[in-house]
Structure 1
């Protein structure tokens, strides 16, 4: 279906048929159109832009990848880009400007209205991953002493220019945020009542410097449609809407997943070879260093392995199972940290649960492994040693899998970024040491 739409759009462009283009994209969402445009060459992209109206093009640009946004801006006259911006909300414009080279950004800002430029410059001044960086300044804020009749008139007047009208923010005479009013409640209230009589004064808000991940947790916890951003004087600076929060959640989840694999969030599958090398190679060098630690541990027992060759075949099982068990614990803990459910200070006792889990899982997998090795090498002591080593390493995996990410969080280090390396080092080094150490102790029984 997607390919058919793409082919139809390309054919319409070749025919320079505006009506046929609109017929093709009439039932397509802007995001789907943007995905089709990703594969267009510059000539086709420019021709498409020239055949559709600016309001639709603005919607498509909002949903486009930053690479496509930059391509469009470089292809089109800057005056036309400024006109496209007039159909967008400020937070979307800021997202686009933030991805542009500084010179192009400055040139565009110079062409815009002074009031718009001032607001955009303020938004650009915030960190892109902060509440200020993702907020919009297009909202409805009304004074608390307005009657419902007056409020409805204001909503009808301001509403078309804002992102959401479901939530009305109520301010006092000093423009301080004192409450919120749901549009449903306003519509149901009698016209002579005042906003202050129906508003909710228990407002959940954030400062502009707060990290976007913490903002998403608040919105999720309290089921908010929008969350206000205030300054130190409690004056309303902007709001963050739930659609932006969804983007944040997806972005943060993707970032954590990539970091667990030692990959940067900036890297793309279609990125340059140079970028991929720059982002991945440092982590491979770190992993190489931890691999040598495990190798040195094995080297301490070379004489034991030389006398019982079966140990060489069995020891990767212990280390591998420890790594897998540790990754399970690590994934659960990092997810809980991201949701704000766990901290080292409050929940350190949960490590004993992970230790108990390591004993149980280690015993269960150790029994099976021991039986298989006994059947293969006809030596019950080798089975008993790997049984004990499996329990020991899975306890190590649970212990470090729980404490490493929480400890890194305390020191201000992203747990998703560094936990896997420390955990792998622990399970490999301790796994080999426990298994080969026990084997050395009971060497006469293995020969």
Structure 2
């Protein structure tokens, strides 16, 4: 057997091993499912005459901009559920039920959960996401089959997983046992019902209900906070939320690019259910565009998760112009440009070019290069003048980060008040100059 064939077989065995571990986790969690907590068609395998999963229904604020259907790209079995919002519109999937009027008792809860305490266990794959707008809710429902009596429990699907091609496991523990108005629980899958609205697409599969799920550390946030030397010193911050029902031990590690000095500075030992823990590492080294930091943590007792944070520089033109719309002839006038690097990597090779019409440059360079623009803001100030009244214009071109931005500032030049011709208006009682 050739060396290349051995490599292919090795990778295949590794992926099969990963799949079997995930399957064992799902089956292990479902092993504690209560016999009295049925969830029919949680894997979306049974379809109705419209080829939509039995026991589920969907809605959208704009159905033309939404897609909800089954797909054969499943985590297990034949089908999974595909949800997409092509615009920032609300898209939702619920268990089927018949809503009543406020205060009207309904005998049948439909396909909703007949329990007030438990945990949802499910699989998801994030196809497209940029914000926190993909969510799974455990929704409290009253005897009239309307929402109320308590706040929802929420699982926010991490947008950092977008495009990684992997199936992830989510756990959402809920407890309405001390809420007398709550009779049942609705499972709500949502895009743009909570969070920052944006287009998104996601796959869901293998929903199960358990009496107990243990602990689960959901990725809540991953970012770099700048230090005194932006782009060179800072802290990488990882926030994990325990969406399970038991305290979670905290185990996390950071892999940094070569040449970086990394030290853990905050590593709590555990986090309680429904609480969030913050982990910090200090970073020292020049963060250039594309630098990658890989964070790995124990998501629950039998599986680790990892996510890569890629440093990016983002050039933004914040403002450009004169302090006033009317300038005075023969007087120096400041012309200000505010630039910002809104990313977390140093932006190299920024070029600024100033063009004037009707104005004379008295200080500052007409063309200048910024060798390195660290995260944060930077200001460039020129001094200009015009020798006579007239309309004037200044434009600036900024090139950097494969982008070109242009801004234009216009003003009117007037003579100083002391140089204007005197005008006298007089009456019997008032004389104005």
Relative to the length of structure 1, the TM-score reads 0.27
TM-score, normalised to structure 2, is 0.27
Structure with the higher strand share, 1 or 2: 2
Q: Which has the higher helix share?
A: 1
